[in-house]
Structure 1
Amino acid sequence: MCGRYVIEGTTELSERFQLRQIPADLFPEWTTYNAAPSQLLPVIVEDAAGERTALDMQWGLVLRWRRPDGKAPVTPINARAETLLEKPMFRGLTKAKRCIVPASGFYEWRKVDGRKQPYYLTADDGEVWGLAGLYDVTHDEENDAAGSFTIITTAANPLVAPLHERMPVILRREDEEEWVSRDVTDPLQVERLLQPYPEDAMRIYPVSPDVNSPRNNGPELIERDGVCRSP
Protein backbone atom coordinates (compact mmCIF):
# COMPACT_ATOMS: atom_id res chain seq x y z
CA MET A 1 0.00 0.00 0.00
CA CYS A 2 1.01 3.63 0.19
CA GLY A 3 0.28 5.41 3.45
CA ARG A 4 2.98 8.10 3.67
CA TYR A 5 5.05 9.93 1.09
CA VAL A 6 7.30 12.94 0.52
CA ILE A 7 6.99 16.01 -1.70
CA GLU A 8 9.96 18.34 -1.92
CA GLY A 9 8.08 21.23 -3.49
CA THR A 10 10.24 23.50 -5.59
CA THR A 11 9.62 25.56 -8.70
CA GLU A 12 11.18 22.64 -10.61
CA LEU A 13 7.88 20.81 -10.15
CA SER A 14 6.29 23.23 -12.61
CA GLU A 15 8.78 22.29 -15.32
CA ARG A 16 8.85 18.61 -14.38
CA PHE A 17 5.09 18.22 -14.84
CA GLN A 18 4.60 20.95 -17.47
CA LEU A 19 2.18 22.89 -15.31
CA ARG A 20 0.53 26.10 -16.36
CA GLN A 21 1.86 29.09 -14.39
CA ILE A 22 1.72 28.44 -10.65
CA PRO A 23 2.33 31.19 -8.03
CA ALA A 24 5.89 30.69 -6.73
CA ASP A 25 4.79 31.08 -3.11
CA LEU A 26 2.77 27.86 -3.35
CA PHE A 27 5.79 25.62 -3.79
CA PRO A 28 7.14 25.94 -0.23
CA GLU A 29 3.64 25.17 1.07
CA TRP A 30 3.62 21.93 -0.92
CA THR A 31 6.84 20.68 0.67
CA THR A 32 6.17 17.91 3.16
CA TYR A 33 8.36 15.09 4.39
CA ASN A 34 5.46 13.19 5.93
CA ALA A 35 2.37 13.41 3.72
CA ALA A 36 -0.41 11.51 5.48
CA PRO A 37 -4.08 10.64 4.86
CA SER A 38 -6.65 13.44 5.39
CA GLN A 39 -4.07 16.15 4.62
CA LEU A 40 -4.52 18.63 1.78
CA LEU A 41 -1.88 17.79 -0.82
CA PRO A 42 -1.18 18.83 -4.42
CA VAL A 43 -2.39 16.67 -7.30
CA ILE A 44 -2.04 17.35 -11.01
CA VAL A 45 -5.06 17.31 -13.31
CA GLU A 46 -5.77 18.43 -16.84
CA ASP A 47 -8.20 21.35 -17.02
CA ALA A 48 -10.90 21.99 -19.62
CA ALA A 49 -8.40 23.88 -21.79
CA GLY A 50 -6.12 20.85 -21.92
CA GLU A 51 -3.49 22.38 -19.63
CA ARG A 52 -2.05 20.70 -16.57
CA THR A 53 -2.63 22.42 -13.26
CA ALA A 54 -1.99 21.53 -9.62
CA LEU A 55 -4.80 21.63 -7.06
CA ASP A 56 -4.88 20.99 -3.33
CA MET A 57 -7.03 17.97 -2.50
CA GLN A 58 -7.63 15.81 0.54
CA TRP A 59 -5.86 12.46 0.57
CA GLY A 60 -8.65 9.94 1.06
CA LEU A 61 -11.34 9.79 -1.60
CA VAL A 62 -14.67 11.19 -0.39
CA LEU A 63 -17.26 8.91 -1.97
CA ARG A 64 -20.55 10.25 -3.28
CA TRP A 65 -22.61 7.39 -1.88
CA ARG A 66 -23.53 7.16 1.80
CA ARG A 67 -23.57 4.07 3.98
CA PRO A 68 -27.10 2.79 4.75
CA ASP A 69 -26.20 2.32 8.43
CA GLY A 70 -25.52 6.03 8.81
CA LYS A 71 -21.87 5.54 9.74
CA ALA A 72 -19.14 7.80 8.41
CA PRO A 73 -18.38 7.04 4.75
CA VAL A 74 -15.23 5.18 3.81
CA THR A 75 -12.47 7.42 2.44
CA PRO A 76 -10.04 5.06 0.69
CA ILE A 77 -6.46 6.31 0.44
CA ASN A 78 -5.53 3.52 -1.99
CA ALA A 79 -7.23 1.70 -4.87
CA ARG A 80 -6.04 -1.62 -6.27
CA ALA A 81 -5.12 -1.42 -9.97
CA GLU A 82 -6.41 -4.93 -10.61
CA THR A 83 -9.98 -4.16 -9.49
CA LEU A 84 -10.52 -0.55 -10.62
CA LEU A 85 -12.97 -1.54 -13.32
CA GLU A 86 -14.83 -3.99 -11.08
CA LYS A 87 -15.72 -1.56 -8.29
CA PRO A 88 -18.42 1.04 -9.00
CA MET A 89 -16.72 3.57 -6.72
CA PHE A 90 -13.64 3.62 -8.98
CA ARG A 91 -14.92 2.62 -12.43
CA GLY A 92 -16.28 6.01 -13.46
CA LEU A 93 -13.30 7.89 -12.03
CA THR A 94 -10.91 5.67 -14.00
CA LYS A 95 -12.70 6.84 -17.14
CA ALA A 96 -12.81 10.56 -16.49
CA LYS A 97 -11.01 11.70 -13.30
CA ARG A 98 -7.43 10.54 -13.31
CA CYS A 99 -4.69 12.56 -11.65
CA ILE A 100 -0.95 12.54 -11.04
CA VAL A 101 0.32 12.71 -7.46
CA PRO A 102 3.82 14.23 -7.36
CA ALA A 103 6.12 12.41 -4.94
CA SER A 104 9.83 12.52 -4.23
CA GLY A 105 9.53 9.14 -2.53
CA PHE A 106 7.41 7.10 -0.13
CA TYR A 107 7.77 5.23 3.14
CA GLU A 108 7.14 1.61 3.93
CA TRP A 109 7.61 -0.37 7.14
CA ARG A 110 9.09 -3.74 8.07
CA LYS A 111 9.25 -5.52 11.40
CA VAL A 112 12.88 -5.61 12.58
CA ASP A 113 13.90 -6.98 15.98
CA GLY A 114 10.33 -6.74 17.23
CA ARG A 115 9.69 -3.15 16.13
CA LYS A 116 8.41 -1.48 12.98
CA GLN A 117 11.32 -0.01 11.07
CA PRO A 118 10.49 2.61 8.41
CA TYR A 119 12.27 2.69 5.06
CA TYR A 120 12.37 5.41 2.46
CA LEU A 121 12.08 4.52 -1.23
CA THR A 122 13.00 7.06 -3.87
CA ALA A 123 14.16 7.33 -7.48
CA ASP A 124 17.72 6.21 -8.06
CA ASP A 125 18.34 9.27 -10.26
CA GLY A 126 16.63 11.71 -7.87
CA GLU A 127 13.74 12.47 -10.23
CA VAL A 128 10.35 13.34 -8.82
CA TRP A 129 7.83 10.59 -9.48
CA GLY A 130 4.30 10.90 -10.76
CA LEU A 131 2.04 8.46 -8.89
CA ALA A 132 -1.19 7.36 -10.56
CA GLY A 133 -4.28 8.59 -8.74
CA LEU A 134 -8.02 9.09 -9.06
CA TYR A 135 -9.87 12.15 -7.82
CA ASP A 136 -13.36 13.50 -7.38
CA VAL A 137 -14.98 16.79 -6.44
CA THR A 138 -17.96 16.75 -4.10
CA HIS A 139 -20.17 19.48 -2.66
CA ASP A 140 -21.29 19.95 0.91
CA GLU A 141 -24.70 21.14 2.13
CA GLU A 142 -23.72 24.74 1.37
CA ASN A 143 -22.63 23.71 -2.15
CA ASP A 144 -18.96 24.36 -1.43
CA ALA A 145 -16.71 22.20 -3.62
CA ALA A 146 -13.92 20.06 -2.20
CA GLY A 147 -11.55 17.73 -4.02
CA SER A 148 -10.21 14.42 -2.74
CA PHE A 149 -8.00 11.70 -4.20
CA THR A 150 -6.73 8.17 -3.82
CA ILE A 151 -3.42 6.60 -4.90
CA ILE A 152 -3.51 3.49 -7.08
CA THR A 153 -1.43 0.51 -5.99
CA THR A 154 -0.09 -2.54 -7.80
CA ALA A 155 1.87 -5.66 -6.91
CA ALA A 156 5.21 -4.88 -5.29
CA ASN A 157 8.39 -5.26 -7.30
CA PRO A 158 11.23 -7.39 -5.83
CA LEU A 159 12.76 -4.38 -4.05
CA VAL A 160 9.56 -3.47 -2.22
CA ALA A 161 8.23 -7.00 -1.68
CA PRO A 162 10.24 -7.71 1.52
CA LEU A 163 8.43 -4.75 3.10
CA HIS A 164 4.93 -5.03 1.64
CA GLU A 165 3.07 -6.94 -1.08
CA ARG A 166 1.76 -3.70 -2.62
CA MET A 167 3.36 -0.49 -3.88
CA PRO A 168 2.05 2.73 -5.45
CA VAL A 169 1.82 2.84 -9.23
CA ILE A 170 4.72 5.02 -10.35
CA LEU A 171 3.97 6.16 -13.88
CA ARG A 172 6.69 6.07 -16.48
CA ARG A 173 7.36 9.63 -17.53
CA GLU A 174 6.32 8.89 -21.11
CA ASP A 175 2.95 7.56 -19.86
CA GLU A 176 1.98 10.56 -17.74
CA GLU A 177 0.40 12.51 -20.61
CA GLU A 178 -1.85 9.62 -21.56
CA TRP A 179 -2.82 8.96 -17.94
CA VAL A 180 -3.91 12.51 -17.16
CA SER A 181 -5.44 13.37 -20.55
CA ARG A 182 -9.16 14.18 -20.53
CA ASP A 183 -9.34 13.02 -24.15
CA VAL A 184 -8.60 9.44 -23.13
CA THR A 185 -11.90 8.03 -21.87
CA ASP A 186 -11.42 4.30 -22.41
CA PRO A 187 -10.35 2.86 -19.04
CA LEU A 188 -8.95 -0.23 -20.73
CA GLN A 189 -6.52 2.00 -22.60
CA VAL A 190 -4.99 3.36 -19.40
CA GLU A 191 -5.26 0.18 -17.35
CA ARG A 192 -2.17 -1.16 -19.11
CA LEU A 193 -0.12 1.71 -17.64
CA LEU A 194 -0.62 0.46 -14.09
CA GLN A 195 2.43 -1.75 -13.75
CA PRO A 196 5.09 -2.20 -11.03
CA TYR A 197 7.98 0.24 -11.35
CA PRO A 198 11.38 -1.30 -12.21
CA GLU A 199 13.35 -2.07 -9.07
CA ASP A 200 16.66 -1.07 -10.66
CA ALA A 201 15.36 2.51 -10.98
CA MET A 202 14.75 2.79 -7.22
CA ARG A 203 16.80 2.87 -4.06
CA ILE A 204 15.84 2.11 -0.48
CA TYR A 205 17.33 2.82 2.92
CA PRO A 206 16.21 2.85 6.57
CA VAL A 207 15.13 6.11 8.20
CA SER A 208 14.30 7.31 11.69
CA PRO A 209 11.19 6.00 13.48
CA ASP A 210 10.25 9.67 13.93
CA VAL A 211 8.37 9.34 10.63
CA ASN A 212 5.88 7.05 12.39
CA SER A 213 4.06 10.13 13.72
CA PRO A 214 2.53 12.40 11.05
CA ARG A 215 3.09 15.30 13.45
CA ASN A 216 6.80 15.10 12.64
CA ASN A 217 7.76 16.84 9.43
CA GLY A 218 11.22 17.89 8.31
CA PRO A 219 14.07 16.97 5.95
CA GLU A 220 15.73 14.93 8.70
CA LEU A 221 13.00 12.30 8.22
CA ILE A 222 14.54 11.17 4.91
CA GLU A 223 18.09 10.98 6.24
CA ARG A 224 19.54 7.49 6.43
CA ASP A 225 19.29 5.81 9.83
CA GLY A 226 22.77 4.43 10.36
CA VAL A 227 21.65 2.20 13.24
CA CYS A 228 19.48 -0.09 11.11
CA ARG A 229 20.63 -2.24 8.22
CA SER A 230 18.91 -2.03 4.84
CA PRO A 231 16.54 -4.93 4.01
Structure 2
Amino acid sequence: MCGRFEQSGTHKYYARALGADVSNDQEWTGGDHMALYNIAPGRCPSMIMLHNHRLEFISHTWGYRTPEEAAAKKKPWINARVEKALTGRYFRHMFREGRVIIPGGGWFEWTLENGKKQPWYIKRKDDEPIFMAGITNFRLYTQQNVEVGFVIVTEDSSGGMVDIHDRRPVVLEPEDAWRWLDVNTPVEEAAHIAQSRSLPSDAFTWWKVDRAVNRADPFNNSKELLAPLDEHV
Protein backbone atom coordinates (compact mmCIF):
# COMPACT_ATOMS: atom_id res chain seq x y z
CA MET A 1 0.00 0.00 0.00
CA CYS A 2 1.02 3.63 0.14
CA GLY A 3 0.63 5.28 3.54
CA ARG A 4 2.87 8.32 3.06
CA PHE A 5 4.62 9.92 0.13
CA GLU A 6 6.82 12.84 -0.83
CA GLN A 7 5.91 15.62 -3.25
CA SER A 8 8.63 18.24 -3.16
CA GLY A 9 8.88 19.18 -6.84
CA THR A 10 7.20 22.14 -8.49
CA HIS A 11 4.27 21.82 -10.85
CA LYS A 12 6.55 22.87 -13.70
CA TYR A 13 9.03 20.14 -12.78
CA TYR A 14 6.37 17.42 -12.85
CA ALA A 15 4.78 18.80 -16.02
CA ARG A 16 8.13 18.81 -17.80
CA ALA A 17 8.80 15.23 -16.69
CA LEU A 18 5.42 14.26 -18.16
CA GLY A 19 6.45 15.82 -21.47
CA ALA A 20 4.14 18.83 -21.32
CA ASP A 21 5.07 22.14 -22.94
CA VAL A 22 6.41 24.33 -20.14
CA SER A 23 8.00 26.99 -22.36
CA ASN A 24 5.49 29.62 -21.24
CA ASP A 25 7.15 30.58 -17.94
CA GLN A 26 4.29 32.90 -16.94
CA GLU A 27 1.88 29.98 -16.97
CA TRP A 28 3.97 28.03 -14.44
CA THR A 29 5.18 30.77 -12.08
CA GLY A 30 2.21 30.81 -9.72
CA GLY A 31 0.15 28.37 -7.73
CA ASP A 32 2.91 25.99 -6.67
CA HIS A 33 2.51 24.39 -3.27
CA MET A 34 5.31 24.19 -0.73
CA ALA A 35 7.66 21.20 -0.84
CA LEU A 36 6.06 18.32 1.07
CA TYR A 37 8.35 15.55 2.33
CA ASN A 38 6.03 13.54 4.56
CA ILE A 39 2.47 13.61 3.22
CA ALA A 40 -0.01 11.71 5.38
CA PRO A 41 -3.66 10.89 4.63
CA GLY A 42 -5.91 13.89 5.15
CA ARG A 43 -3.35 16.34 3.77
CA CYS A 44 -3.94 18.21 0.49
CA PRO A 45 -1.13 17.55 -1.97
CA SER A 46 -1.48 18.13 -5.70
CA MET A 47 -3.18 15.72 -8.04
CA ILE A 48 -3.08 16.07 -11.83
CA MET A 49 -6.15 16.07 -14.05
CA LEU A 50 -6.42 16.50 -17.81
CA HIS A 51 -8.80 19.18 -19.07
CA ASN A 52 -9.02 20.22 -22.71
CA HIS A 53 -5.71 18.43 -23.32
CA ARG A 54 -3.97 20.52 -20.66
CA LEU A 55 -2.64 19.45 -17.29
CA GLU A 56 -4.44 20.86 -14.25
CA PHE A 57 -2.74 20.69 -10.84
CA ILE A 58 -5.30 20.68 -8.06
CA SER A 59 -4.64 20.46 -4.33
CA HIS A 60 -7.09 18.06 -2.79
CA THR A 61 -7.60 15.80 0.18
CA TRP A 62 -5.91 12.42 0.23
CA GLY A 63 -8.79 10.16 1.24
CA TYR A 64 -12.35 9.35 0.26
CA ARG A 65 -15.47 8.18 2.06
CA THR A 66 -19.14 8.01 1.17
CA PRO A 67 -21.71 10.31 2.81
CA GLU A 68 -22.83 7.35 4.95
CA GLU A 69 -19.28 6.71 6.11
CA ALA A 70 -18.77 10.41 6.83
CA ALA A 71 -21.94 10.45 8.95
CA ALA A 72 -20.65 7.43 10.84
CA LYS A 73 -17.27 9.18 11.24
CA LYS A 74 -15.41 6.31 9.62
CA LYS A 75 -11.87 6.82 8.41
CA PRO A 76 -11.55 7.62 4.70
CA TRP A 77 -10.10 5.10 2.29
CA ILE A 78 -6.66 6.14 1.02
CA ASN A 79 -5.92 3.29 -1.42
CA ALA A 80 -7.93 1.26 -3.92
CA ARG A 81 -6.89 -2.21 -5.06
CA VAL A 82 -6.62 -2.22 -8.83
CA GLU A 83 -8.38 -5.60 -8.91
CA LYS A 84 -11.50 -4.12 -7.32
CA ALA A 85 -11.44 -0.49 -8.47
CA LEU A 86 -12.94 -1.30 -11.86
CA THR A 87 -15.57 -3.86 -10.90
CA GLY A 88 -16.34 -3.02 -7.30
CA ARG A 89 -19.38 -0.84 -6.62
CA TYR A 90 -17.44 1.42 -4.27
CA PHE A 91 -14.84 2.88 -6.66
CA ARG A 92 -16.28 2.02 -10.06
CA HIS A 93 -17.67 5.50 -10.80
CA MET A 94 -14.31 7.08 -9.95
CA PHE A 95 -12.41 4.65 -12.16
CA ARG A 96 -14.59 5.55 -15.11
CA GLU A 97 -14.75 9.31 -14.71
CA GLY A 98 -12.15 10.43 -12.19
CA ARG A 99 -8.73 9.09 -13.15
CA VAL A 100 -5.88 11.30 -11.88
CA ILE A 101 -2.12 11.16 -11.43
CA ILE A 102 -0.45 11.81 -8.09
CA PRO A 103 3.10 13.05 -8.75
CA GLY A 104 5.93 12.70 -6.29
CA GLY A 105 9.52 11.77 -5.67
CA GLY A 106 8.84 8.54 -3.80
CA TRP A 107 6.78 6.92 -1.08
CA PHE A 108 7.24 5.32 2.33
CA GLU A 109 6.57 1.81 3.59
CA TRP A 110 7.22 0.17 6.95
CA THR A 111 8.62 -3.00 8.46
CA LEU A 112 8.41 -4.10 12.08
CA GLU A 113 11.82 -4.27 13.77
CA ASN A 114 12.22 -5.03 17.46
CA GLY A 115 8.56 -4.20 17.98
CA LYS A 116 8.91 -0.77 16.36
CA LYS A 117 7.78 0.54 12.99
CA GLN A 118 10.77 1.14 10.73
CA PRO A 119 10.08 3.43 7.75
CA TRP A 120 11.68 2.94 4.32
CA TYR A 121 11.78 5.43 1.45
CA ILE A 122 11.24 4.07 -2.08
CA LYS A 123 12.09 5.98 -5.28
CA ARG A 124 13.04 5.37 -8.90
CA LYS A 125 16.66 4.36 -9.51
CA ASP A 126 16.97 6.90 -12.32
CA ASP A 127 15.85 9.77 -10.03
CA GLU A 128 12.88 10.56 -12.26
CA PRO A 129 9.65 11.51 -10.45
CA ILE A 130 6.96 8.91 -9.85
CA PHE A 131 3.50 9.23 -11.35
CA MET A 132 1.06 7.23 -9.24
CA ALA A 133 -2.31 6.25 -10.69
CA GLY A 134 -5.15 7.66 -8.62
CA ILE A 135 -8.91 8.06 -8.76
CA THR A 136 -11.15 10.79 -7.37
CA ASN A 137 -14.78 11.80 -7.08
CA PHE A 138 -13.80 15.46 -7.54
CA ARG A 139 -15.02 17.01 -10.80
CA LEU A 140 -13.55 20.14 -12.31
CA TYR A 141 -15.86 23.17 -12.48
CA THR A 142 -18.72 21.23 -10.91
CA GLN A 143 -20.63 22.13 -7.75
CA GLN A 144 -20.46 19.16 -5.36
CA ASN A 145 -22.09 18.78 -1.97
CA VAL A 146 -20.36 15.58 -0.83
CA GLU A 147 -16.87 14.93 0.47
CA VAL A 148 -14.36 14.84 -2.37
CA GLY A 149 -10.86 13.44 -2.33
CA PHE A 150 -8.54 11.02 -4.08
CA VAL A 151 -7.19 7.55 -3.42
CA ILE A 152 -4.05 5.92 -4.80
CA VAL A 153 -4.45 2.78 -6.91
CA THR A 154 -2.36 -0.14 -5.62
CA GLU A 155 -1.32 -3.50 -6.99
CA ASP A 156 0.20 -6.74 -5.71
CA SER A 157 3.95 -6.22 -5.41
CA SER A 158 4.77 -9.93 -5.86
CA GLY A 159 5.94 -10.58 -2.35
CA GLY A 160 6.93 -7.01 -1.63
CA MET A 161 9.96 -4.85 -2.25
CA VAL A 162 12.53 -6.44 0.03
CA ASP A 163 9.54 -7.70 2.02
CA ILE A 164 8.53 -4.15 2.87
CA HIS A 165 4.90 -4.66 1.93
CA ASP A 166 2.77 -6.87 -0.29
CA ARG A 167 1.03 -3.90 -1.93
CA ARG A 168 2.53 -0.98 -3.80
CA PRO A 169 1.21 2.01 -5.76
CA VAL A 170 0.72 1.67 -9.51
CA VAL A 171 3.53 3.87 -10.89
CA LEU A 172 3.33 4.77 -14.58
CA GLU A 173 5.75 6.07 -17.20
CA PRO A 174 4.74 9.47 -18.68
CA GLU A 175 3.21 8.00 -21.84
CA ASP A 176 0.97 5.68 -19.85
CA ALA A 177 0.17 8.47 -17.38
CA TRP A 178 -1.25 10.58 -20.21
CA ARG A 179 -3.37 7.68 -21.43
CA TRP A 180 -4.59 7.07 -17.89
CA LEU A 181 -5.62 10.72 -17.52
CA ASP A 182 -7.39 10.99 -20.87
CA VAL A 183 -11.17 10.72 -20.44
CA ASN A 184 -11.32 9.39 -24.00
CA THR A 185 -9.27 6.35 -23.02
CA PRO A 186 -11.74 3.45 -22.80
CA VAL A 187 -12.22 1.97 -19.35
CA GLU A 188 -10.93 -1.39 -20.57
CA GLU A 189 -7.70 0.23 -21.78
CA ALA A 190 -7.30 2.15 -18.52
CA ALA A 191 -7.74 -1.12 -16.62
CA HIS A 192 -5.07 -2.74 -18.79
CA ILE A 193 -2.69 0.15 -18.09
CA ALA A 194 -3.20 -0.14 -14.33
CA GLN A 195 -2.89 -3.91 -14.31
CA SER A 196 0.08 -4.37 -16.64
CA ARG A 197 1.99 -1.13 -17.21
CA SER A 198 3.18 -0.29 -13.71
CA LEU A 199 6.96 0.00 -13.37
CA PRO A 200 8.60 -3.23 -12.15
CA SER A 201 10.22 -3.53 -8.74
CA ASP A 202 13.71 -3.49 -10.24
CA ALA A 203 13.10 0.09 -11.43
CA PHE A 204 13.18 1.23 -7.79
CA THR A 205 15.65 1.59 -4.98
CA TRP A 206 14.88 1.88 -1.26
CA TRP A 207 16.52 2.49 2.08
CA LYS A 208 15.71 2.84 5.76
CA VAL A 209 15.03 6.36 7.01
CA ASP A 210 14.74 7.91 10.44
CA ARG A 211 11.70 6.98 12.55
CA ALA A 212 10.90 10.69 12.72
CA VAL A 213 8.91 9.96 9.55
CA ASN A 214 6.40 8.09 11.72
CA ARG A 215 5.13 11.35 13.19
CA ALA A 216 2.25 12.52 10.99
CA ASP A 217 2.59 16.22 11.68
CA PRO A 218 2.34 18.95 9.00
CA PHE A 219 5.33 20.64 10.65
CA ASN A 220 7.38 17.42 10.48
CA ASN A 221 8.44 18.34 6.98
CA SER A 222 12.09 18.44 5.99
CA LYS A 223 14.31 16.98 3.28
CA GLU A 224 16.33 15.21 5.97
CA LEU A 225 13.43 12.76 6.41
CA LEU A 226 14.47 11.19 3.08
CA ALA A 227 18.12 10.65 4.04
CA PRO A 228 19.35 7.06 4.51
CA LEU A 229 19.32 6.05 8.17
CA ASP A 230 23.11 5.69 8.38
CA GLU A 231 23.46 9.38 7.56
CA HIS A 232 21.64 10.19 10.80
CA VAL A 233 24.11 8.25 12.94
TM-score by length of 2: 0.85
Identify if the C-alpha distance between structure 1 residues 159 and 87 changes in structure 2 by more than 3 Å, giving closer, same or farther: closer
| Alignment of structure 1 residues 187-198 onto 2, 5 Å | 187-195=187-195, 196-198=198-200
| Alignment of structure 1 residues 91-110 onto 2, 5 Å | 91-110=92-111
| Alignment of structure 1 residues 66-85 onto 2, 5 Å | 66-67=68-69, 70-72=71-73, 74-85=75-86
Residue 51 (1) aligns with residue 66 (2): no
> 1:211 is aligned with what amino acid?
V
**Deviations 1:42-61 (CA, angstroms, capped at 9, x unpaired):** 000011x2211110110002
Aligned equivalents of 1:131, 1:31: Cα separation in 2: 18
Q: Identity of paired residues, percent?
A: 26
Shift of 1:74: 4.9
Shift of 1:92: 1.4
* Runs of 4+ more than 4 Å apart: 19-23, 142-147
Shift of 1:25: 4.1
In structure 1, stretches of 5+ residues that fail to align are none
CA contact (8 A) 2:159 2:165 kept: no
Identify if the C-alpha distance between structure 1 residues 85 and 12 changes in structure 2 by more than 3 Å, giving closer, same or farther: closer
Identify if the C-alpha distance between structure 1 residues 130 and 72 changes in structure 2 by more than 3 Å, giving closer, same or farther: same
TM-score by length of 1: 0.85
In structure 2, stretches of 5+ residues that fail to align are none
**Deviations 1:160-179 (CA, angstroms, capped at 9, x unpaired):** 25011100110122211110
Going by fraction, where is helix more abundant, 1 or 2?
2
Aligned equivalents of 1:145, 1:72: Cα separation in 2: 14
Give the paired residue count: 220
Secondary structure of the structure 1 residue equivalent to 2:194:
coil
**Deviations 1:104-156 (CA, angstroms, capped at 9, x unpaired):** 00000001233211100000000001100001128xxx967874100000001
The more displaced of 85-94 and 157-166 is: 157-166
User: What is aligned with 1:61?
Assistant: 64
For the aligned residues, what is the CA RMSD?
2.5
Going by fraction, where is strand more abundant, 1 or 2?
1
User: What is aligned with 1:4?
Assistant: 4
**Deviations 1:55-109 (CA, angstroms, capped at 9, x unpaired):** 011000243x425x94125521000000112322211111111000001000000
User: What is aligned with 1:200?
Assistant: 202
User: What is aligned with 1:162?
Assistant: 163
Secondary structure of the structure 1 residue equivalent to 2:184:
coil
> 2:9 is aligned with what amino acid?
G
User: What is aligned with 2:179?
Assistant: 178
Secondary structure of the structure 2 residue equivalent to 1:137:
coil
Aligned equivalents of 2:93, 2:224: Cα separation in 1: 40
